[in-house]
Amino acid sequence: MILRLLQGLASRARACAYRLRGVQIDGHCWLRAIEIPRQHDAIHLAAGVQLDRGVVLLVSGEPTGAKKIVIGRATYVNRSTIIDASERIEIGAHCMIGPFCYLTDHDHSFSSTGDAGSGPLISKPTRLGERCWLGAHVTVLKGVTIGEGTVVGAGSVVTKPLPARVVAVGNPARVVREL
């Protein structure tokens, strides 16, 4: 009981510290040992969001004044997941994101003559609808929209949009059944 109380106090202290740095946090959120290295004012967490230990909210690119990472009400993000946005990643309410997932809205341009990573970022917004469930080790690439209530199986790589209320698995992720 004392451990739970201390964990709750630590979570509230982290939320307060991130609010002071500019993260928009609505209501109570449960924040374990997470990392937000920069552009704190580009992040919005709705009430009831739970971010477990090792979650990284990484905002890159030029500051625009707009929210680049938006996480909906009562969404749970499991351990060691990275959400990496340069334009916008929006995660709907009541989603579950498994451990060791990677969600991004960009990649690097490249050419045969330039250094790797030397070109500009190529960005397209990424969106997860409400009540989505991503299994462990799922990768979601730029420009993808995952429909409401869709389940993505562990280890999948989502390269193209997925419709609502389906199960998708594989690399690349393909729909295997409707829900």
Which residues, other chains included, contact 62 with Cβ-Cβ below 8 Å and sequence gap of 6+?
Answer: none
Question: Nearest 5 degrees, angle CA 118-CA 54-CA 34?
Answer: 90
Element (H, E) at 142: none
Q: Which token pair is 13?
A: 């202290």
Q: Is the bond leading into 172 cis (omega within 30 degrees of zero)?
A: yes
In angstroms, the first-to-last Cα distance of the chain is: 40
* Positions marked catalytic: 108
Closest listed residue to residue 140, CA positions, set 93, 111, 172: 172
